[in-house]
Chains A and B, each alone.
Chain A
């Protein structure tokens, strides 16, 4: 295919003042339960989205099943100190992770115990186009990178 002349390239230059007034552009309201949309860490029905990019490789790696057990226990925990009854699960998860030090760098272990973890995999998960899609609060730390981080970044 040959190189085509651009048909029509308009340019508009705007100052800060030009863009001060709120936009009149209308956007369609999003349906939070849209099944097509990428879901965040927690699905509309309350379940955990194990495929959330924010989790990186946590749910899919060698210690994936231990992680899922521990995290599920924590998520559904109704105790006053959330997750206090899940100590055993977290211990077995940690035990598993210690067997793979290059997958689960030891300084990240604390992160996995909080719901807003996601970061443990940050190096591992950097490959994925996370951020943008996940509305979950967990992402704030990871998101800014958006693309740059993604993949290769």
Chain B
């Protein structure tokens, strides 16, 4: 650091030359100091109408006085500056000593700002240094003080990092996957995850499946479940020891992943590359990921139904929702789930299984004709509904809720067709609203068709902002713009975002998949666009080897069916020969592959009770070819084998 003395030494020649120059030429660039006004009159005087020797002497005296005055002023200012500067430094160094936590970056920051400030005087004449120097110091002060403890006597509270090279907003699956990807690719990366939940990153699927099947009574505390292979694991991706404290992130030698819980990002300044938390803390970043997921939707009729109804209604998404529903399931006599999609059906089956022991009544109602009505073709949706019923669930299809009221300690759900359902508790599983709270302050585009932040194929919203997971409406180069709310997509997109944040420029290409288990008989894996409004072709293996008349008729129909033939038959699936619709034979849909078509190209595949074939399915979608005979494509799956 330069001392004031050195500065003076450097300035002196400048001052001398500038004063000389001033006498000769007023318009000298860079001299924005007090001496210019003094110079100007002198210059004017030199060209004025004055003449004579006496005047010359007066003139010389005036200039001399001005010069001396200027120098004196400069010296006084410099001395004052030095005093102020030294006081400042001592203040800062004592503050540093007092601060409890090690903040290795502070000294460099202080040094940087002061050298910056001190170097400026070199360019400008004496008095002017006082202007640029205080501002950088003043500017440095707030940024130093904000993370610093205010009082000297009390122990310093944890200092949140004011800067994170990689800032991930949201602490869910996509965020964790990105953190892992960043750490793998950028050695020593410092990643900060900010989440408004109280929990470290965890996986959601077990909350509506495996956790309910656990025999452990303390499962709501341990949150551990048994995987398909018998091994137990926690829903948390990593135990707390994997992460480092946010306070230690900046100083961590090898970097790490820090999670800031219970903090919400409320404002994003894209131009300034920083965010603001709900407690006022500002954190600047270099690369930012928005992985804010979404919030469960509720039915308007319930929201308007009053406090008593709302008290007895729950949404389902987080750990606390699982704990709360688990608690309710032990006390209530009847629970009604509104919603027939993945979450609703899974919860219904999970509760239905538990109900077998406790006598709990589990009701599931939805507007469609069958479970997963928006995903599965009708025949399969009907088949699935029967399975769900076998799990002990009272399924009410084609149910549109008209109103909900609280009467005689029960909730009364009035349906539009007149049916009335009485229950103790409602679980609303009617969709997810993607969280785009930051779109306004950040000036990010929101998609009007699918919701969520609009990003490109590389998941980028702006040059150093990416979005992944449920909140990302991205461009899939094979399947078109979409937004996917599945777990594997969160993993795949989070990983991809992490890769792109560390320099890769890869588009979304590896197709994510999803799966669902509805009881012991129904398990399927799926990939791509699986929407029941698309035309489908299902290829199923015969359930038994027995040769029934029905089987024979169906056999003859196999492979002979041509497209034109089936185009006539809309809803009825089986070939003309069969007298009864296939739906009656519930065993028939034991194992198979269902292709979803868009313009004759396979855009989605469901593997129905066949496993370990996802790579083939992924390949078919990736190719995006028009296949004349889908039965031939189905052969690739070897559905008859295990």
Contact = CB atoms under 8 A, between A and B. Distances in A.
B85 interface: no
A23 B633 contact: yes
A126 B224 CA distance: 14
A9 B541 contact: no
A16 B543 CA distance: 11
B59 interface: no
B552 to A, nearest CB: 10
Contacts of A53: 495
A11 B235 CA distance: 39
Interface string A6-21: 1111111111101101
A36 B238 contact: no
A152 B374 contact: no
Contacts of B257: 60
Contacts of B491: 127-129, 150-151
Contacts of A37: 509-510
Given A38-B510, A124-B237, A152 B525 contact: no
Contacts of A151: 173, 203, 205, 487-488, 491
Interface stretch (B153-161, B214-222, B624-632): B624-632
Given A9-B573, A152-B206, A14 B558 contact: yes
Nearest to A135: B615
Contacts of A146: 525, 611-612, 614
Interface residues of A, number: 64
Chain B: interface secondary structure? mixed
B474 to A, nearest CB: 14
Interface stretch (B20-28, B68-76, B174-182): B174-182
B197 interface: no
Contact of A10 (B241, B492, B561): B561
A103 B542 contact: no
Given A9-B571, A13-B554, A65-B188, A103 B627 contact: no
Interface string B589-602: 00000000000000
Interface in B493-519: 495, 498-499, 506-507, 509-510, 512-515
Nearest to B539: A12
Contacts of B561: 10, 12
Interface string A29-41: 0100001111000
Nearest to A68: B187
A13 B574 CA distance: 9
A60 B383 CA distance: 44
Nearest to B570: A8
B640 interface: yes
A150 to B, nearest CB: 6
Interface in A58-105: 59-62, 64-65, 68, 100, 102-103
Interface of A: 3-16, 18-19, 21-28, 30, 35-38, 50-51, 53, 55, 57, 59-62, 64-65, 68, 100, 102-103, 122-124, 126-129, 132-133, 143-153
18 contacts: A3-B367, A4-B532, A8-B566, A12-B634, A13-B541, A14-B639, A15-B541, A19-B634, A37-B510, A51-B498, A55-B184, A59-B184, A60-B183, A68-B187, A102-B239, A148-B227, A149-B229, A152-B227
Interface of B: 173, 176-177, 179-185, 187-188, 203-206, 209-210, 225, 227-229, 231, 233, 235, 237-239, 241-242, 244, 254, 256-257, 367-369, 373-374, 377-379, 487-488, 491-492, 495, 498-499, 506-507, 509-510, 512-515, 525, 532-542, 551, 554-555, 557-559, 561, 566-567, 570-571, 573-574, 582, 588, 611-612, 614-615, 618-620, 623, 625, 627, 629-636, 638-640
